[in-house]
Chain A
């Protein structure tokens, strides 16, 4: 039984705000299922004494001091904005589901 159904992919697509056609859902369900199956092979070597690992480096407690650094210049900040107004990023109205 496949790990991922087209419905699962549709839900993920909705969460990621990606608009997919039914044919794409079918195709991606197959492809993603292959990916999940490949990754799942890891579980064959995992036993109870192996904790879930989020960070591969043996490093903890990396801090910076609370010292102000210069801001990115205002013109650089908005340089990559598709649209701007009054020094601010202009974005389309969202939350139509609200």
Chain B
């Protein structure tokens, strides 16, 4: 096809321009998200899950798969699974079992992963997400099940350091057995060209939800939350689902969006050329923004699932489930609606705040005593710009809610002007101390000492006798020149409104 273009620099496959691809094909996506639960111990043994320990120092006979070792289920992990299920509006199984997923790979020394197969803990739910322009979108959730993480392999030797050229691998089992919940969506159809945006919004909303539930930090950059992205194309919404590819371990919101876009363009080129999409796993390359072929689904993927004989079934009592339901915190969607009402933000303002990831800092700043308007002004303006310029998250700036609230109080009490506040913030960002310390150190305080101001006003009036005369004659607007002179004399440290009042007072003019 003439629309297929060979990307030169990326080293990828032929692509169709995204808009052309979505004009000719219906996009269907699906997402599988793995979440490491924030429990103190592993899924089936008491080994610690703390991050960053020396290799193989948080392991037990169970995590190492030693003969005779017997697993026992972590109650807190099951409870976290129930919490996630309920928050996604799933039904919680009255009875479910673990199953062995058999495969041979050194990251799992047992030669199977303990997972759930046909009896997930939670099923049939949904997550409502909001796209960037405010459009609501419901993503159906097929299931959420419990399983365990694998060990971490490092491939060494070989020319490239990648798996291909590696001579051997080094394995650390600290991560093996850490509780995971895998959340699987149903196919998401009907989003058309917005499919990448829906994928991103879903993963972001899920991250927010998991954090609100307190079940995981869900830091994608630390691998605590990992997304597998399924994409398929079909000629029309009425056609059966096309062959899908599964791009593994996409580890940022932006990458989720890019990976879907890339696969749409790539698969469209394959189909345009009369080929068929291979059902395969694909690798995502963050640096180049492309996917490459991984493993073709084959007989080797016959995992021979069977019920885990070493673990008895789970039958979470309805009383337990209801207890968990009653303990659910306010969920992000409800929280946003409440905060918007409390703060009096417009829809657009609220959306900007949410999209910029400022909800929590603004909330914390308001809690420290700032007005919602002031909190939004500083975080959404000056601080967002600074974070952007420094290419860091706004939360990584050396300024927190306490400092911003203090700054807002200084302005509101009239101690500093808005213009000065920007300078104060500059000082705080430069590490010069708290806002109050910067005000003192830089001598930025508004001159509120009336006698000093009166002296300055009298001096300015004496230096401009003609202006004083005009004011007395009724030309109140002439006061501006004197105010300007006072502001200049105080190097901008006076409250201009007060200066104006004083000028009129001192010349004995009627106050307007």
CB–CB B75/A63 < 8 A: yes
- Asked if B75 and A66 sit within 8 Å, CB to CB, the answer is yes
Within 8 A of B (CB), among A45-98: 54-55, 57, 59-69, 71-72, 74, 77-78, 80, 85-95, 97-98
Q: Is B48 in contact with A68, judged by CB distance below 8 angstroms?
A: yes
Nearest B residue (CB) for A56: B309
Q: Give chain A residues whose Cβ lies under 8 Å from the Cβ of B323.
A: none
Chain A residues whose CB sits within 8 angstroms of the CB of B3 once the complex forms: none
B512 located at the interface, meaning its Cβ lies under 8 Å from any Cβ of chain A in the complex:
no
11 inter-chain pairs at a CB distance below 8 angstroms, sorted by A residue, are A14-B299, A15-B102, A55-B307, A62-B73, A63-B73, A66-B39, A69-B41, A88-B170, A91-B106, A94-B105, A97-B300
**B106→A65 contact, CB < 8 A:** no
Tell me which residues across on chain B come within 8 A of A27, comparing CB atoms.
Answer: none
Q: Is the CB of A95 within 8 A of B47?
A: no
Residues from chain B with Cβ under 8 Å of A60 in the complex: 95, 312-315
B434 near A: Cβ within 8 Å? no
Chain B residues with CB below 8 A from A61, complex form: 312-316
The interface residues of chain A, by DSSP majority, are classed as: loop
CA distance A97 to B104 in the complex (A): 13
A55 and B312 contact, Cβ closer than 8 Å, known pairs A71-B48, A93-B166: yes
Closest to B62 in A: A72
How far apart are the CA atoms of A91 and B113 in the complex, in Å? 19
B57 contacts A74, C-beta separation under 8 Å: yes
B154 contacts the other chain (Cβ, under 8 Å)?
A: yes
Q: Which residues of the other chain, A, contact B61 by a CB distance below 8 angstroms?
A: 72
The interface of chain B, by Cβ under 8 A from chain A, is 39-41, 45-48, 54-61, 64, 66, 72-78, 95, 97, 102, 104-106, 153-155, 157-158, 163-164, 166-173, 294-295, 299-300, 302, 304, 306-307, 309, 311-316
Instruction: For B312, list chain A residues within 8 Å (CB).
Output: 55, 57, 59-62
- Interface pair B294/A98, CB less than 8 Å apart: yes
B56 close to A11 (CB less than 8 A): no
Which residues in B have their C-beta under 8 angstroms from that of A77?
Answer: 56-57, 59, 64, 173
Residue on A with the closest CB to B49?
A68
Evaluate contact between B304 and A15: CB separation under 8 angstroms: yes
Say yes or no: A63-B97 contact (C-beta < 8 A), given A55-B307, A74-B57, A87-B54. no
B60 touches A63 (CB 8 A): no
- A69 and B48 CA atoms in complex are apart in Å by 7
CA distance A64 to B163 in the complex (A): 38
Task: Enumerate chain A residues within 8 angstroms of B315, measured Cβ to Cβ.
Answer: 60-61
* B309 surroundings in chain A (CB, below 8 A): 54-55
B387, chain A: closest CB distance, angstroms: 37
Q: Which residues of B contact A71 (CB under 8 A)?
A: 47-48, 57-60
Given known A-B contacts A60-B313, A69-B47, A72-B59, A54 and B307 have beta carbons under 8 A apart: yes
Which chain B residue lies CB-closest to A65?
Answer: B75
Smallest Cβ-Cβ distance to B167: which chain A residue: A93
Question: Which partner residue on chain A sits nearest B308 by CB separation?
Answer: A54
Give chain B nearest CB distance to A9 CB in angstroms.
14
Q: Is B171 within 8 A of A67, CB to CB?
A: no
Known: A15-B302, A55-B307, A93-B169. A67 touches B40 (CB 8 A): yes
Q: Is the CB of A91 within 8 A of B171?
A: yes
Q: How far is the CA of A68 from the CA of B164 in the complex (A)?
A: 38
Which residues does chain A contribute within 8 Å of B169, judged by CB atoms? 90-94
Whole-angstrom CA separation of A14 from B61 in the bound complex = 28
Contacting residues, chain B, for A68 (C-beta < 8 A): 40-41, 46-48
Q: Please state if A69 and B60 are interface contacts (CB–CB under 8 Å).
A: yes
Bound together, the chains give a CA A65 to CA B171 distance in angstroms of 28
B41 lies within 8 A of A67 (CB):
yes
How far is A15 from B66 in the complex, measured between Cα atoms in Å? 21
B52 vs chain A, min Cβ distance (A): 14
Contact A69 B46 (CB under 8 A): yes
The closest CB in chain B to the CB of A55 belongs to B312
In the complex the two chains form, is A72's CB within 8 Å of B64's CB? yes
Bound-complex Cα distance A14 to B300 (A): 8
Tell me if B72 and A62 are in contact (CB < 8 A): yes
Known interface pairs A86-B55, A88-B170, A90-B169; 8 further A-B residue pairs with C-beta atoms within 8 A, sorted by A's residue number: A15-B299, A60-B95, A60-B312, A60-B315, A68-B41, A77-B56, A91-B168, A93-B168
Q: Is the CB of B171 within 8 A of A98?
A: no
Residue of A nearest to B165 (CB): A93
Q: How far is the CB of B58 from chain A (nearest CB, A)?
A: 5
Closest to B174 in A: A71
**How close is B85's CB to chain A, nearest CB, in angstroms?**
17
**Nearest chain A CB to B171 CB, angstrom units:** 4
